[in-house]
C-alpha cells in the first residue's frame, strides 16, 4: 500500500532529494547531515522474537500514529511488501531505508520480503522519514544538505515527542531508550555526516583520518552505510556511543569539535594540492570531466569516482561551467534502481552501463 | 585454551583488536575477564575497541551450535531469550531482557559506550508527565540509588569537559545537572 496523493506505485520523486541540493554550511566537503533515533514500543518484544501477528500490530499502530504526526507537508506510507525489488532498491539509494529493511532482514535471521514492514516518508523534500519494523520498531531520521546536524536533530526531537504522545516507548531508568542491540541503547541517537574526502584521498592522508576517527570511537563507513565501500570518496562519519552522554553533548562533539576538524583537514589537503601539484590536479579533474562527457560504457563505481573528481573540480573553480548540483544529482541518478526507473524497464548489467554513460553524457552536455 | 588474563578459566571470547598502525592483535579471554571482572590487564589497550568488535566477539565467543543454555545461564522470563542466544547474535529479545541480564550486560554495555553506564539525556515527555500524576516517577527516573548514579555520570562528563577545556560543553552539562536535580526534587515532592 502506498498512500499519497499520487496513486499507482511509488511516486516519481520529481524533486531531487533535499540532501542532494549541495547547499548549506561547508557543502564543499559535507554532502549531508543525518540524525537517526531508534525507538521500540513498550509491551512488544523486539524484532528478534516478535511473531508475525505482533509485527502486524506494530505496523498498524505505527501507521495510525505516523499519519497524524507532522513529518512534513504530506506523509507517504509505503508498505515494503508491496514493492518490487527495484522499487525497494530505489528507496535504499535515496537513503530512505536500509538495505536490510529492503530485504526484510534482521541480523542473524533469514530475510523475508514478506516480513510486515514499512517506511513513512515526509514529502515533498524527503527530509524526515520513519522505518517501521527494521531492527527496532521505529527508526526515524532527519536529513539535511550540508552541515546541519542541529537543525536535523531539532526537527527529529519534535517528531519523536509527537509520536510518543500517542505511543508508549520501551524505556528503562538506567539504560534509557531500549533497543534490540545494546550498542544503540540510551539515547538511541546516531549523528552522521557524509563527507567528500577526495582531497585527503589524493594526498594519501585518508587512512590517518580513518584511524583518528576510530581513536575517537567514531564509525567510518562508505556511501551506503555498513559494509559499503567509499565510492566517489564519500565517507559517512557517525558516533558510536549512545549511553552516558546526552543528545546535546553528542551533537556538539560531532558538530563543533570533530566534523570541523575533518573539514579543515580536507580543505587543507585541497589547498596543498592546488599549491604544489596544480597541473597534476587539473589533469585529473579534466580527464574525469572528459570521460564523463564522452564514455560509452560506465560502471556505477567508476561513475561515482569520476563524479567525485568533477565535484572537486567544481568546488575549486577548475570547472567553472559545471553545475555542482547537477553532479550531486547524478551521483544518485547513476545508481542501478534510479537508472532503471528513468529508462522505465529492467536492465542487465551491460545495458545499465550503456544507459548510465548515455545519461551522464546527456546531462553534462557531452 | 585458557584465558590469557587470569590463566584459570576457559577462554570463550576471542577478540581481534586493530591499533592505529593497523596492526592486528588477538585476545583470548574468559567471560569474567572480558566483562572486566577478572584481574586487570598489565597493558591496557590505549585504543577502545570499536563497538561492533565488542559485540562481534559475542558472535564468535561462548557456546555455539547446541542452542542449549548451559546451567546457570540466565533466561529472560518474558521472551525466553537466553543469555547464550544473545551472545551468539548480539541482539536482545525484548525490553525485559535488559533487566533479566542486567548483571552481565552492564559491564559489556559500559565497555561498548566508552564507560557510559547510565542514561543521561532525553526522557519520554508524555510518559514523564503521566507518571507525575500517578506517582510512578521511579519507573522513569529510577530509584534514589539510580538517580545518584545518573548524576555521577554527568559529573564525570563535566570533569572531562573541564579538563579538555571544553567550557561551552561544560556549561551545558552543568545545565543538564540542574535540570535533572529539579526533576528529581519534583519527584520527591
CB atoms closer than 10 angstroms to residue A4: 15
Residue of A238, A242, A246, A133 whose CA lies nearest to A185: A242
B42: Cβ–Cβ under 8 A, 6 or more apart, which residues?
none
Model confidence at B57: pLDDT above 70: no
Phi, then psi, of A100 in degrees rounded to 5: -70, -30
Indicate the range of A213-227, A248-262, A350-364 predicted with least confidence. A213-227
Question: Coil, helix or strand for A351?
Answer: helix
pLDDT-based confidence at residue B127 (cuts at 50, 70, 90): confident
More confident residue, A336 or A221: A336
What are A252's three cell numbers? Answer: 556538539
Q: What is the mean pLDDT of chain A?
A: 91
CA distance A193 to B135: 41
More confident residue, A157 or A12: A157
pLDDT-based confidence at residue B128 (cuts at 50, 70, 90): confident
Contacts A–B by Cβ distance under 8 A? 179
What are A142's three cell numbers? Answer: 532527519
- Number of helical (H) and strand (E) elements in chain B, helices listed first: 9, 2
ipTM rounded to 2 decimals: 0.88
Phi, then psi, of A337 in degrees rounded to 5: -70, -40
Return the pLDDT at B61. 38
Model confidence at B8: pLDDT above 70: no
Model confidence at A134: pLDDT above 50: yes
Indicate the range of A150-154, A334-338, A350-354 predicted with least confidence. A334-338
Residue that is written with C-alpha cell 541518478 in the block: A333
Return the pLDDT at A9. 55
Model confidence at A109: pLDDT above 80: no
Q: How far are the Cα atoms of A91, A336, A338, A341 from residue A12, in angstroms, in the given order?
A: 12, 15, 10, 9
Average pLDDT over residues A203-232: 81
CA distance B91 to A46: 9
Residue that is written with C-alpha cell 528529581 in the block: B184
pLDDT-based confidence at residue B130 (cuts at 50, 70, 90): confident
Average pLDDT over residues A262-270: 97
Alpha carbon of B94: minimum distance to chain A alpha carbons (Å): 4
What are B55's three cell numbers? Answer: 559485540
Average pLDDT over residues A242-264: 93
Contacts of B114 in chain A (CB under 8 A): 217, 241, 244
More confident residue, A70 or A228: A70
Return the pLDDT at B150. 83
B117 and A CB contact within 8 Å:
yes
A87: Cβ–Cβ under 8 A, 6 or more apart, which residues?
A9, A10, A337
What is the enclosing helix (H) or strand (E) of B16?
strand B13-18
Residue that is written with C-alpha cell 545518584 in the block: B148
Contacts of B112 in chain A (CB under 8 A): 182-183
pLDDT-based confidence at residue B40 (cuts at 50, 70, 90): very low
Model confidence at A247: pLDDT above 60: yes
Q: What is the pLDDT of residues B86-123, one digit of tens each?
A: 988 899 999 999 999 999 999 999 999 988 989 988 99
What are A355's three cell numbers? Answer: 544507459
Q: What single DSSP character describes residue A350?
A: H
Is A196:A308 a contact under the CB 8 Å cutoff? Answer: yes
Model confidence at A85: pLDDT above 70: yes
Q: How far are the Cα atoms of A299, A326, B135, B138, B178 from residue B131, in angstroms, in the given order?
A: 57, 52, 6, 9, 21
What value, to the nearest 5°, has the Cα angle with vertex A118 and ends A117 and A120? 155
C-beta atoms of A46 and B94 within 8 A: yes
Alpha carbon of A167: minimum distance to chain B alpha carbons (Å): 9
- Identify the sign of the CA torsion A134, A116, A64, A45: negative
Longest dimension (CA), chain A: 64
C-beta atoms of A182 and B55 within 8 A: yes
Amino acid at each position: 500500500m502506498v498512500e499519497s496523493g499520487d496513486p499507482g506505485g511509488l511516486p516519481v520523486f520529481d524533486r531531487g532529494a533535499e540532501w542532494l541540493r549541495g547547499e548549506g554550511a561547508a557543502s564543499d566537503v559535507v554532502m549531508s547531515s543525518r540524525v537517526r533515533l531508534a525507538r521500540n514500543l513498550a509491551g512488544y518484544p523486539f524484532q528478534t522474537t516478535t511473531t508475525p501477528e505482533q509485527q502486524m500490530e506494530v505496523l498498524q499502530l505505527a501507521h495510525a500514529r505516523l499519519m497524524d504526526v507532522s513529518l512534513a507537508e504530506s506523509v507517504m506510507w509505503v508498505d515494503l511488501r508491496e514493492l518490487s525489488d527495484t522499487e525497494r532498491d530505489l528507496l535504499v539509494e535515496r537513503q530512505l531505508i536500509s538495505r536490510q529493511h529492503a530485504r526484510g532482514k534482521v541480523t542473524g535471521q533469514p530475510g523475508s520480503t514478506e516480513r510486515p514492514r514499512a517506511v513513512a516518508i515526509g514529502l515533498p523534500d524527503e527530509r524526515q522519514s520513519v522505518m517501521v519494523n527494521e531492527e527496532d520498531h521505529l527508526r526515524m531520521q532527519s536529513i539535511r544538505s550540508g552541515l546541519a546536524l542541529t537543525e536535523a536533530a531539532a526537527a527529529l526531537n519534535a517528531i519523536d515527542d509527537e509520536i510518543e504522545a500517542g505511543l508508549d516507548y520501551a524505556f528503562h531508568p538506567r539504560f534509557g531508550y531500549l533497543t534490540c542491540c545494546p550498542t544503540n541503547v540510551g539515547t538511541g541517537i546516531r549523528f552522521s555526516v557524509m563527507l567528500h574526502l577526495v582531497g585527503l584521498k589524493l594526498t594519501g592522508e585518508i587512512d590517518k583520518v580513518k584511524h583518528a576517527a576510530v581513536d575517537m570511537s567514531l564509525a567510518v563507513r562508505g556511501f551506503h552505510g555498513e559494509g559499503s565501500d567509499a565510492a566517489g570518496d564519500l565517507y559517512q562519519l557517525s558516533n558510536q556511543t549512545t549511553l552516558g552522554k546526552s543528545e546535546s553533548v553528542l551533537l556538539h562533539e560531532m558538530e563543533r569539535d570533530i566534523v570541523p576538524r575533518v573539514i579543515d583537514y580536507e580543505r587543507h589537503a585541497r589547498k596543498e594540492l592546488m599549491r604544489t601539484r596544480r597541473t597534476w590536479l587539473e589533469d585529473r579533474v579534466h580527464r574525469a570531466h572528459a570521460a564523463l562527457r564522452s564514455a560509452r560504457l560506465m560502471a556505477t563505481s567508476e561513475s561515482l569516482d569520476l563524479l567525485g573528481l568533477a565535484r572537486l573540480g567544481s568546488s575549486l573553480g577548475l570547472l567553472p561551467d559545471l553545475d555542482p548540483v547537477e553532479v550531486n544529482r547524478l551521483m544518485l541518478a547513476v545508481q542501478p534502481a534510479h537508472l532503471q526507473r528513468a529508462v522505465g524497464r529492467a536492465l542487465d548489467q551491460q545495458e545499465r552501463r550503456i544507459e548510465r554513460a548515455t545519461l551522464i553524457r546527456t546531462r553534462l552536455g557531452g | 585454551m585458557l584465558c590469557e588474563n587470569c590463566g584459570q578459566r576457559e577462554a570463550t571470547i576471542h577478540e581481534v583488536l586493530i591499533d592505529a598502525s593497523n596492526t592486528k592483535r588477538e585476545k583470548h579471554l574468559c567471560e569474567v575477564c572480558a566483562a572486566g571482572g577478572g584481574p586487570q590487564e598489565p597493558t591496557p589497550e590505549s585504543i577502545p575497541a570499536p563497538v561492533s568488535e565488542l559485540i562481534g566477539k559475542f558472535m564468535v565467543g561462548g557456546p555455539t551450535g547446541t542452542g542449549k543454555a548451559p546451567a546457570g545461564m540466565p533466561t529472560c522470563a518474558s521472551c525466553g531469550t537466553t543469555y547464550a542466544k544473545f551472545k551468539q547474535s548480539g541482539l536482545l529479545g525484548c525490553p525485559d531482557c535488559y533487566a533479566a541480564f542486567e548483571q552481565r550486560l552492564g559491564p559489556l554495555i559500559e565497555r561498548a559506550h566508552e564507560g557510559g553506564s547510565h542514561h543521561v539525556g532525553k526522557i519520554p515527555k508524555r510518559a514523564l508527565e503521566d507518571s507525575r500524576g500517578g506517582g510512578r516517577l521511579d519507573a522513569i527516573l529510577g530509584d534514589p540509588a539510580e538517580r545518584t548514579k545518573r548524576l555521577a555520570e554527568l559529573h564525570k562528563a563535566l570533569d572531562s569537559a573541564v579538563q579538555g577545556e571544553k567550557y561551552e560543553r561544560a556549561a551545558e552539562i552543568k545545565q543538564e545537572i540542574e535540570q535533572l536535580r529539579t526533576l528529581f526534587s519534583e519527584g520527591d515532592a
